[in-house]
Every structure is written in C-alpha cells, then in structure tokens.
Amino acid sequence: MTVRSAFAAILIAIALPAASQDYDANFTLSLRGITGGEIGLAGRQQGPAYSVAAEAKATGLVGSLLKYGYEARANGRYVSGRPVSQSYSELEDDDGERTQAEVAFRGTRPATVTFTPPRDPQDHDIEPTEQTGVIDPLSALYDVMRPTEPGRACNRRYELFDGRHVSRLTLGQPETGSDGTIRCVGEYRRIAGYSPERLAERPVVRLDILYAPTGSSAVAVTEVRSPTRFGDAVLRRR
C-alpha cells in the first residue's frame, strides 16, 4: 500500500437521546507522530430522525504532497436503537479528480445509486439493490463516535454500503479501565465490490478504539488507532 492509498483509506474509513441534541467533534490523524489529516464530524437528532455531515482532508506535510479531500452527508432514523439509512452522499477530491456518489435507501436496502461523473461498469461491480441489511458508512461512524451509555460502547457490528462496496465494521468486547475509559478491538473488513487487487492489498484493517467519560454519565470515542506498514495511524479527538 502506498502512502497515498494508506492515508486515503484511513480518512475515508475511519443515537443521541430522544431529545434534540447536537454532536460536533474534530479529530486529527497522525502517522509516526506526524499530523497528516483532519476530520470533522457533526450530527443532530430530533426524535428518531438524525442527520450527520463529515469532512476530511490531508494536511501538513502530507497535505503538501497529497491533495485529498472527502465530504459526506447522511440522513436516517433510529429504529430499535439502530440507525437505518435514508440517504447518503459523498464527494471525493483526489488530487483534483472529483467524484460524487449518491445513494437512496429503502429500509435496509439501497434503492438507487447515482455517480457523477458516471462510472464505467467493472467486472467486480455488485448490484446495489440486491444488498440487504446495510447502512451507509457515515451513519455507522456517527453511531460509533457519538456519546453513548458505557454499556453500549463496543460489541457492535455494521454492514456498510457506500454505493459501490460492501464492507463490515465490527467492534469487539469492551475492556474497562480503572479511570473509566473503555477500550475495544475492532476491525474493518472489505467484503464485495472491490477489485481483486484491492482485496488482496489489505482486506482487513484492525482498529483499537478508546472511549473516555464525557463528564456526564456517557462515554465517547476519543482515539482510534490502526496499524499500517508505516507505523500506527492514530485518529485523536482535539
């Protein structure tokens, strides 16, 4: 995996209570202690309905070598404590090459997918409407990162669909520290819709997720650590 693909993968890859509440957090991404990216995440829930937006970009020395940006928005509803996607859009700018994807969901199935500019069919493409039990990646990220009850941290699984790919995000059993922090080991696994080369490159990404008390009775993610061939990539809340 190249430096470009490693940072791009990490930038892309890495319910509030019933009353209306906002969630606004900013994270820095570093590799071997060198800051290389920033991620902003903002969400709002009114009753069961939620909306969330994210923005990621390469910064610092990496930003001077790699022009990369990612913006995404998602809307959905919480059903039995789980997010159910209604719409998802993403805009990726990779060194001036801008691509956009929009997905509309019907329940836990994608209903329509639109690409701008249109994509040429690939041998490894999957049929979006045949996927079931999936949500968009931003809804899953929001559900993981937001403040939550300590008993709800970790031990979760999400089947993801971003318009082209199916992947799985799994959070393992929690380990509680004496300081109130909670740590769990998870993984991000590519499932379908990827080229054979990408599947062979790095099919599974290990994640070490740290929750910390927020000052109330909740905990929230403050750090995500993932090993790469260049050292640990660390996503840390500012």
Residue spans per domain, the chain: 3-237
Question: Per the confidence metrics, is the pTM higher than 0.85?
Answer: yes
* Paired strand residues for 54: 41, 72
Measured between alpha carbons, how far is 221 from 212 in angstroms, rounded to an integer?
Answer: 6
User: What's the pLDDT score for residue 231?
Assistant: 85
Measured between alpha carbons, how far is 16 from 22 in angstroms, rounded to an integer?
Answer: 8
User: What's the pLDDT score for residue 63?
Assistant: 47
Measured between alpha carbons, how far is 119 from 203 in angstroms, rounded to an integer?
Answer: 23
In this structure, what DSSP letter does residue 148 have? B
Task: Work out the percent of the chain whose per-residue pLDDT is above 70.
Answer: 88
Could you give the angle at the alpha carbon of 230 between the alpha carbons of 224 and 235, nearest 5°?
A: 20
Q: How many other CB atoms are there within 10 angstroms of residue 151's CB atom?
A: 10
Residue 11 pLDDT grade (very low, low, confident, very high; cuts 50, 70, 90): low
Residue 47 φ/ψ, nearest 5 degrees = 65, -135
Q: How many other CB atoms are there within 10 angstroms of residue 89's CB atom?
A: 20
CA dihedral 205, 208, 214, 215 (to 10 degrees): 180
* pLDDT over 90 (residue 110): yes
User: What's the pLDDT score for residue 15?
Assistant: 33
In the numeric block, the tokens 């599947």 are attached to: 199
> Which of 57-61, 186-190, 207-211 has the least mean pLDDT?
57-61
Average pLDDT over residues 17-29: 73
Contact at 8 Å (CB) between 104 and 86?
yes
User: What's the pLDDT score for residue 144?
Assistant: 96
What mean pLDDT, rounded, does the chain reach?
A: 88
> Which of 35-49, 50-64, 125-139 has the least mean pLDDT?
50-64
